[in-house]
Structure 1
C-alpha cells in the first residue's frame, strides 16, 4: 500500500484500504473538507453520482468526497440525520445505501470487505447518536458545545486528539482552558 503522509488518522485509515485506486487525490486532500477537530476512523472507495471517490467515516459524520480535474463533490451525512443504512454485497463489490430525512444515497462499487465493515460501524454509530444533537459548526467557526456534550467528554476528546498528535501542546492548553472557562 502507498504511504500518504497526510495526517496520522488519515494515514492509519488509508493503510487498511484494499485498494486506493480512484481515491488517491481525495485521500491527499481530505483535510480540506474535514471540520476542525474531526478525525477519520475509516475509509472506503466507491462510486456516487458521476464520480469514483472516497467515503470517510469520521467521529462526526460520513463524508463522500470526489475531487476530479474539472469538478469536486462533497456530500456529508451527519450521524444524527441518518435514519438507516443498507448493505448489499456481491462477489467483490457492493452498494451502501444511506437513508437521511426522506432522501437516499447509493454509493456503488464499494469493495465488499470495506463496505460491510463500514455499514456495520455506521449502524452502531447511528444507534448511539442523540436524536436532537445540533450539527457541528462549519470549519473555522467557533460554536457552543452540543447540548448532550458535557465538559468531561469534551476534555476526553481533546486528550484523544493530543494523544494522536492532531493538536499541538500549545493548542491543547489553549482549548483546555476554553473548555474549563465555559463552566
Structure 2
C-alpha cells in the first residue's frame, strides 16, 4: 500500500480469530480522533501519546485507504516513525509498529514495536537494508510480551477498551470525540464554555433576587442547589483541561470566575 524506508502500510494475512469486517469505510478524521486517545505507559512517569500528531495524520490517511481495500482475511500492518524527546531532551526518531483490523467491536490495534530506535549502523540510515530487518508485529495469537517496556493505555474518560496490555479497541463512540487541538474540538470547547457562562449569569441573577424572598416565611429558597451547579461547572472545566482544550491560563481564569460567582 505504502512504503518508505522503515515505514510502511501493508495488507497482511489475518493471524487467527474470526473474519474481519473488511472492507470498511472509516474517515481519516474518525481514525485520528481514536488514535489521539491512545497512550503508552512504561510505569515510570506520565504516559505519552501512542503516536505523535504528525504520525496520526500519516497513519489515519493510509489506514483509511487500506481498510477500504482489505478483505475479511487481511489485517493492516503499520510501521511509523515519529520524533520523540529523549532523556537528554533531544528529538530523535522512534519506531512504532501496529497490527490494525476492524471488528464488530470497533477498530482493533495490537502493538508490536514501541518507541524503538530505527535500525541504524552508521547514524545516517544508509547502510542497513530494510529487507534484512525483521520488525516485531503485534499478533492476536501471541500473548503480550512479558518483557515489553511499554503498555497501551487510554486517555481519561475515554471509551477505548483494552483487551490486553498491547491490544486496544476503539469503538465508534471514541472515534466521535474530536481530536484535541482540532477545529471540531475547539468548536466543542467554545460551545461548552458559552453554556457555562450562560448558566453562571443565570445563577448570579437568581442570587441577586434571593434577598427579596427572605421576608416571606416560606421554606428555604433554592439557593442550596448552587454548590451542586458550581461543582458541575468545575467538573466540566477539568474535563476540558484534561482534553487539552484549555491553556493553563484560560483554565485558571475560568475557574476563578466560577468560584467568584459562588
Same fold, TM-score > 0.5, yes or no: no
